[in-house]
Amino acid sequence: MDAAVSPAWAGAGRTLVSLGAAAASSESEEPQTQDQNPSPTHTRDNPFHAPLLEKRALTHEVSSKVTLHLAFCLCGAEMSYEAGDALGVIAQNDPRLVEDVLQAAHLSGSEPVTLAKLGEMPISEALLHHLQITRLSRKLVDSFAHRAQSSHLLGILVPEQHAQLEDFCYGRGLIDLLLSHPGAIGTADELVGILPRLAPRLYSISSSPSAHRNQVHATVAVVRYHAHNRDRGGVCSTLLAERVDPGESLPVYIQPNKRFRLPRQPDAPMIMIGPGTGIAPFRSFLHERRALGSTGRNWLFFGERSASTDFLYRDELQAMQSDGHLTKLDLAFSRDQEHKIYVQDRMVEQAPELWRWLQDGASVYVCGDATRMAKDVDAALHKVIGQQGQMPSEAAIEYVHQLKEQHRYLRDVY
């Protein structure tokens, strides 16, 4: 029987589904790759200060958003990466926001404070480099509410007001608490005592270690918005966009992602689904496969708002499509027509071909937003498998489960 069209769910007992010839190898039960890199010298606690080689906009100047391509030099760094890994950037807060916080707290900035594992430093340095001040959490609001003895804040902290607390925290930061409750924080030590540490920011690497030697690339959407009468922005994305120029250095490290690797077999087909900056690891995959001479077919689903303003890496992708390295390129620009179209819609449109690739042993990769996109893509994948494989929903679920078990359905979502 033809596995591409026969009811894969036929049979008694626990559902067993055909996943294609490539999945039948004994290697399917093992991790996709075995990392050969030794333990890196440069880590989150000991980052490498990498010079910024290049910074350019991937979006058109009239776009409603800004997405940047950044290239850092790793010459002299005792660290390496693989396609699929992430770049960790040790960010710092906007100095203008730090000044606003100090002013609202009636602090000069020179007051000494002590941070665990870091020792003593001025409060201004702690706020700039080490403490999270742009977001509110339940713990932070709780600590502040008790110091301020705020009936409003204490009221929304009760379990029954969880939704109201979430609404309050959305789009607000420490500065909003300080301005609305003057005098609630009396000393620099009190301020430090309620603030969490500033975490590094992770970006899926968009370069190939084989094709871009001694470099690491990142694809970064710049977060800017206006909320509660203030202009606000992402801690690291605005740093990269506004406060670091080529030639200057930033502390970085590599965050391995061993669960998001290229197929072990160089001739295995690969389906990549990455709207927006989710394209980053797939640019890495495509360049790496080319550099290694891999012969497997490559299919990319990419989506953004408009082709004229937001087609990230347009020239590279079209060139790869023209020379056959990118076997298929399906695009979904949501605002280029009256009815919005997304990558999951393109998947359903290409259902027969997508099913054939799965039956040929293709691996499916998804990168991007976990809140909506990844769920919609997962639903579309189940729909395609159920319809094209002539399966009931339970068998389609089992098929996807086996894809995961055989390391052929991998997601890097955030």
- Return the pLDDT at 17: 41
Question: Can you tell me the mean pLDDT for 396-407?
Answer: 98
Q: How confident is the model at residue 315 (pLDDT cuts 50, 70, 90)?
A: very high
Q: Which of 208, 230, 255 is the last residue of a domain?
A: 255
- Return the pLDDT at 20: 43
Judge whether 252 and 88 are in contact, CB under 8 Å: yes
Residue 34 lies in a domain: no
Q: Is the pLDDT of residue 29 over 50?
A: no
Are 158 and 249 part of one and the same domain? no
Q: Which of 144, 176, 194 is the last residue of a domain?
A: 194
Residue 35 lies in a domain: no
Question: Can you tell me the mean pLDDT for 43-70?
Answer: 96
Are 332 and 215 part of one and the same domain? no
Question: Can you tell me the mean pLDDT for 133-154?
Answer: 97
Q: Is the pLDDT of residue 254 over 60?
A: yes
Percent of the chain with pLDDT over 70: 90
Are 360 and 245 part of one and the same domain? no
Report the mean per-residue pLDDT for the chain: 91
Residue 39 lies in a domain: no
- Return the pLDDT at 370: 94
Residue 147 lies in a domain: yes
- Return the pLDDT at 276: 97
Judge whether 157 and 150 are in contact, CB under 8 Å: no
Residue 9 lies in a domain: no
Are 305 and 351 part of one and the same domain? yes
Are 65 and 212 part of one and the same domain? yes
Question: Can you tell me the mean pLDDT for 12-39?
Answer: 39
Q: How confident is the model at residue 2 (pLDDT cuts 50, 70, 90)?
A: very low
Please state whether beta strands 270-273 and 298-304 pair in parallel, antiparallel, or not at all (unpaired). Answer: parallel
Q: Is the pLDDT of residue 372 over 60?
A: yes
Q: What share of the chain is helix, strand, coil (3-state, %, to 5)?
A: 35, 20, 45
Are 370 and 271 part of one and the same domain? yes
- Return the pLDDT at 41: 82
- Return the pLDDT at 10: 36
Residue 12 lies in a domain: no
Are 77 and 114 part of one and the same domain? no
Q: Is the pLDDT of residue 11 over 80?
A: no
Question: Can you tell me the mean pLDDT for 380-384?
Answer: 98
- Return the pLDDT at 150: 96
pLDDT digits (tens, 9 = 90+) for 199-242: 999 999 999 999 999 999 999 999 999 999 999 999 999 999 99
Which CATH number fits the domain that encloses residue 307?
A: 3.40.50.80
What is the per-residue burial (b if ≥16 Cβ within 10 Å, else e) of 306-332? beebbbbbeeebeebeeeebbbeebbb
- Return the pLDDT at 337: 95
DSSP labels, 59-112: S-TTSSS-EEEEEEE-TT-S----TT-EEEE-----HHHHHHHHHHTT--S--E
- Return the pLDDT at 78: 86
Are 241 and 161 part of one and the same domain? no
Q: Is the pLDDT of residue 5 over 50?
A: no
Count structural domains, the chain: 3
Task: Tell me how far apart the alpha carbons of residues 83 and 91 are, in angstroms, rounded to a whole number.
Answer: 23
- Return the pLDDT at 37: 52
Are 135 and 81 part of one and the same domain? no
Burial classification of residue 291, based on how many CB atoms lie within 10 Å of its CB (0-12 exposed, 13-18 middle, 19 or more buried)? middle
- Return the pLDDT at 39: 59
- Return the pLDDT at 40: 67
Q: What tokens does 68 get?
A: 């940047």
For residue 230, give the nearest of 314, 310, 134 by alpha carbon: 134
Residue 8 lies in a domain: no
Q: Is the pLDDT of residue 31 over 70?
A: no
Task: Give the number of C-alpha atoms closer than 13 A to the C-alpha of residue 46, restricted to the C-beta side.
Answer: 7
Q: Is the pLDDT of residue 398 over 80?
A: yes
Which CATH number fits the domain that encloses residue 82?
A: 2.40.30.10
407 Rama sector, left if φ>0, alpha if ψ -120 to 50, beta otherwise? left
Of 125-129, 130-134, 275-279, 335-339, the range with the lowest mean pLDDT is 335-339
Q: What tokens does 305 get?
A: 């708002």
Residue 20 lies in a domain: no
Which CATH number fits the domain that encloses residue 186?
A: 1.20.990.10
Are 292 and 395 part of one and the same domain? yes
Q: Is the pLDDT of residue 9 over 80?
A: no
Q: Which of 170, 194, 218 is the last residue of a domain?
A: 194
Are 263 and 246 part of one and the same domain? no
Are 265 and 376 part of one and the same domain? yes
Judge whether 175 and 104 are in contact, CB under 8 Å: yes
Residue range of the domain that includes 248: 48-91+200-255
Question: Can you tell me the mean pLDDT for 364-388?
Answer: 97
Question: Can you tell me the mean pLDDT for 65-70?
Answer: 97
